[in-house]
Structure 1
Amino acid sequence: MSVCDALPPEELRTLFLFEKLADEHLNWLCEHGKVKAFPANTTLYNEGDPGECFFVLLTGEVTMNRVVRGGELEVHRSSMRGAYVGAALALNGDGDTPAAHAYGNTARTHTDSTFFVLPAGELAQAFTEWFPMAAHLVAGMFLGGQRNRDAVGQRERMIALGTLTAGLTHELGNPAAAAERAAAGLRGRLGELRRARAELAEAGADAAAIQALARLQDDVLAHREVEPPRLRPLEFSDRTDEVAEFFEDLGIPEAYDTAPAFVHVGLYEDWARAAGAALGPAARPGLSWLAATLEGEALLDEVADALGRITELLAAAGQYTQMDRAPYQETDLRKGLDSTVAMLAGPLRDIRIERDYAADLPRIQAYPAELNQVWTNLIDNAADAMAGEGTLTLRASSDPVSVVIEIEDTGPGIPRDIQDRIFEPFFTTKTLGEGTGLGLDISYRIIVQRHAGSVAVFSEPGRTTFRITLPR
């Protein structure tokens, strides 16, 4: 950093911030401020540090960044002469005296830059003395508006979090309950195996019977790996009855509950009789052993399927939140849409989901966590508009310069007289207490301001389409 000569009042007046000031005020600013030069990539201040200086850009380019989980997020960049950063409003709530405030962001020079720099405390003191009424109004609007935004934003986030949590909890509950049931069933089959082993010993199974049982166990497990012939319901019932009747003749307990395990893998009455003959006196405990083995393997498959579903849901949650990834990155928009659908499984439970994704859809540089917030707002609004029933269509396509995402629902549509207002902050068609009116406003700002894209809506009864265009 280097300190240059003081800025002449006539040059200070060329900046839009100061062009209407009286000469005495300009002179005061020139006496108390300094022109300072900073090389490219210099940090002017860090977020959270005490706000000591007010910076007005004279030449170069400056960026403002916010600290977020996973890294730092650039929120604004400007090369406009007169753009300002730093402690601009070191005022307290009543506007009488300056108050200590922390910097709300981190500012860095993107290129070699010069600034007119003022001590924040002196600027605030001068502002309250020169313009006391304005100081009251600005402090009230700034602090009051900030409180309102914080309160409404927190409410919006809690509503979104509640929706996502409910959907995720519901979706996790089903496979978790299935795994619990399968584990309980598996415990029962292990008990049957122990009983069958004891009965084999009581039946005096000789070496030949034990060898036959080992061969038969290999046989039934091999049948599990092969796709069995498809049976019509009546055929399956007849085959099961035949095997169960043979098992009853052998005295196998719960024969009609045991027989389907064999029929499911393509083992019918002729196989059961041949197995019984090979086992001889050990037929009853041997076949009980084989049935418990088959049922145990099937239950293990259920546990694996349930845990796989839980893993998929957790992966979808990770894809949705992007917590372990850089904020700005190469992004697959299809994955973001699919992970959002998974997170909103509760509201979408009875809604038909149709996907029309272009196979050659390119990946783009974007903020995926923020785009997922857009998809959440639009899809949740669509589910609400359809009252939980209808068809949600997700489309993704591209042209040489852009990628287009369309989210379409079969709800009643948006009245034509309010279509041009739906992106206004705090405007909502929902009943009091059900919506904050910020979802579409936030979505619009994410697409237009953060990604230099566009949002359009086309609506008629039975069909509403939100079209998002992002630069490729």
Structure 2
Amino acid sequence: MSEHHINHTIEKLKAVHAFRELPEPQLAWLLTKSKVVTYLAGDKIFNKNTPFTNMRVVLEGTIAISLEQKGHYREIARIEAGEITGILPYSRADRHVGAGVAAKPTVILELHKEHFPEMIQFHHELVEALVHNMISRVREYSQIRHHDEKLLSLGKLSAGLAHELNNPSSAMIRSARELKKNVRTAPSAVLRIVSAGLSAQQMKAVNALLLAKIEQQHASESMSLMQKTAQIDEMADWLESHGLEDGYGIAETLFECQFTVAELVALLDTISEDHVAAVVGWMNDVLTSEKLVQDIDDAAARIADLVNAVKTYTHLDKAPDKQPTEIRQGLTSTLTMLNHKLKSKNIQVELNVPDEVPGIHAFIGELNQVWTNIIDNAIDAMDKDGKLEITAARDGESVLVTIADNGCGISEEHQAHIFDPFFTTKSVGEGTGLGLDIVHKIVQHHNGYIKVSSRPGRTEFRISLPIK
């Protein structure tokens, strides 16, 4: 390498933020021990899971870093000119977690790790600069993976929420269409009852019976299916014998509003048999409309509950500092967000948070991420018809939350590493290994602790959080 080229490259090294204050002899040593490699756009610089061998200083161009998920690569970061990547002195990393590709023509200075002992012994300022760079890199990468885990959680919750919203929204659309049909037939029903020539006294009695039934609860759920079917069949036979063509359909509506055959027979004390078809047909129209309106109201309330759960879960419109919060509220909103996943496995949930459990001061959005990760992992660990137990109790000046499942359990070997970054017991492509590491950091951020105990059929996470 010519003296001019060496001086030119040293000037480029001085432009690197980490090297700005370094003595020129140390930069010259770095240059003489390194090699400068030029990559064309699209060239592979390193592959996922390959061992770290070089420190790399990007002099020109850009390295695109990608992670593989289910056979597809997703770009997660870019290393630009003036930045340092690869292995550094004192780094414990041993393999690349992603693949690196030149996003455009790129020039990189590469120093093999075999030169690190000499660097550590004789070039202290250079080592210090690289260690500071490593600390900054770890901090930045932690923020990236924290954000990445949030996006993964959001993706899971969004999918479940879409299913949860689909049911009530579909019910509203279906009921609204049926109500529209029913409203169109209402004038005919009114015309028939007017044509029947009922007196004001008769109409008053029929109307009173109808309003009383509207106010009543629906048919008893304790009645067996066989009993319900028998009563509806009996009512349908009576209605058809009195001139109503759709006896069974009308009987189902009347039965749901707790009409009995005896009450229909008693109606004959008020009206004549000639009036039964017109009166009961009109009552059926009114009750059907009432039921459809109630269905729409129930569906709208369910959607409102889901929206409120989302607002509570994400802690919208609140300051980004510690806020008073109730443990039960956070757990309930998280269970609502994960309800589709719970239902898909028919998992029984037991939530026991007594009223005497005090509220705590917490970063509410972070705390909900703790509940989400642990409960989501518990669901994954359980087979169908599993059981999830969540309890909370005061423990001195803290609140202790226990989340237990009857899934497959975690081996003792894995328990020792369960909170390590990138450690996962799930199959390749199913887990990032970031969730419980972030959970651990969030709990520590709250000055609390998290512990796990597990055996086949019982895994228990205990999270202790200070009240203040």
TM-score normalised by the chain length of structure 1: 0.66
What SS is found at the alignment partner of 1:380?
A: helix
Cα 1:213–1:246 change in 2 (3 A) is: farther
What SS is found at the alignment partner of 1:347?
A: helix
Q: Which ranges in structure 2 are unaligned for 5 or more consecutive residues?
A: 1-21, 24-79, 85-122
Q: Which ranges in structure 1 are unaligned for 5 or more consecutive residues?
A: 1-20, 23-90, 96-129
CA contact (8 A) 2:196 2:278 kept: no
**Equivalent-residue separation in structure 1 for 2:371 and 2:447 (angstroms):** 17
Residue 424 of structure 1 pairs with residue 420 of structure 2: yes
The match for 2:341 is 347
Residue 468 of structure 1 pairs with residue 463 of structure 2: yes
The match for 1:37 is none
CA contact (8 A) 2:388 2:404 kept: yes
Q: CA deviation at 1:411?
A: 1.5
Residue 216 of structure 1 pairs with residue 206 of structure 2: yes
**Equivalent-residue separation in structure 2 for 1:383 and 1:325 (angstroms):** 30
Amino acid at match of 1:179: M
CA contact (8 A) 2:399 2:466 kept: yes
The match for 1:14 is none
What SS is found at the alignment partner of 1:457?
A: strand
CA contact (8 A) 1:93 1:140 kept: no
Amino acid at match of 2:388: L
The match for 1:437 is 433
Matches within 5 A, 1:124-203: 133-134=126-127, 137=130, 141=134, 145=138, 148-149=141-142, 152-200=145-193
What SS is found at the alignment partner of 1:348?
A: helix
**Equivalent-residue separation in structure 1 for 2:218 and 2:165 (angstroms):** 31
The equivalent position to 1:266 in structure 2, one of 258, 268, 283, is: 258
Residue 329 of structure 1 pairs with residue 323 of structure 2: yes
Residue 295 of structure 1 pairs with residue 285 of structure 2: no
CA deviations over 1:210-251 (Å, ceiling 9, x no partner): 652343123122123235785554444444334323322332
CA deviations over 1:338-380 (Å, ceiling 9, x no partner): 1111111122222111122233100111111111001111111
The match for 1:410 is 406
Cα 1:426–1:234 change in 2 (3 A) is: closer
Amino acid at match of 2:216: V
The match for 1:457 is 452
Amino acid at match of 1:216: V
CA contact (8 A) 1:92 1:139 kept: no
CA contact (8 A) 1:413 1:460 kept: yes
The match for 1:36 is none
Amino acid at match of 2:338: L
**Equivalent-residue separation in structure 1 for 2:242 and 2:385 (angstroms):** 53
**Equivalent-residue separation in structure 2 for 1:411 and 1:361 (angstroms):** 28
Cα 1:389–1:243 change in 2 (3 A) is: closer
CA contact (8 A) 1:213 1:286 kept: no
CA contact (8 A) 1:258 1:291 kept: yes
Matches within 5 A, 1:6-45: none
**Equivalent-residue separation in structure 2 for 1:389 and 1:207 (angstroms):** 57
**Equivalent-residue separation in structure 2 for 1:175 and 1:389 (angstroms):** 24
The equivalent position to 1:395 in structure 2, one of 391, 397, 408, is: 391
Amino acid at match of 1:93: G
**Equivalent-residue separation in structure 2 for 1:264 and 1:151 (angstroms):** 56
Cα 1:235–1:433 change in 2 (3 A) is: closer
Identity %: 36
CA contact (8 A) 2:205 2:270 kept: no
The match for 2:309 is 316
CA contact (8 A) 2:448 2:464 kept: yes
Matches within 5 A, 1:108-127: none
The match for 1:93 is 82
Q: CA deviation at 1:421?
A: 1.2
Residue 206 of structure 1 pairs with residue 197 of structure 2: yes
What SS is found at the alignment partner of 2:160?
A: helix
**Equivalent-residue separation in structure 2 for 1:152 and 1:409 (angstroms):** 27
Cα 1:401–1:147 change in 2 (3 A) is: closer
CA contact (8 A) 1:94 1:136 kept: no
**Equivalent-residue separation in structure 1 for 2:167 and 2:218 (angstroms):** 28
CA contact (8 A) 2:219 2:255 kept: no
CA contact (8 A) 2:193 2:282 kept: no
Q: CA deviation at 1:388?
A: 5.3
The match for 1:338 is 332
Amino acid at match of 2:151: M
Q: CA deviation at 1:405?
A: 0.5
CA contact (8 A) 2:370 2:439 kept: yes
The match for 1:305 is 298
**Equivalent-residue separation in structure 1 for 2:247 and 2:336 (angstroms):** 41
What SS is found at the alignment partner of 2:340?
A: coil
Q: For this pair of structures, how many residues does the alignment match?
A: 346
CA contact (8 A) 1:411 1:463 kept: yes
The match for 1:127 is none
**Equivalent-residue separation in structure 2 for 1:238 and 1:419 (angstroms):** 57
CA deviations over 1:403-427 (Å, ceiling 9, x no partner): 1011111112111122121111112
**Equivalent-residue separation in structure 1 for 2:198 and 2:380 (angstroms):** 68
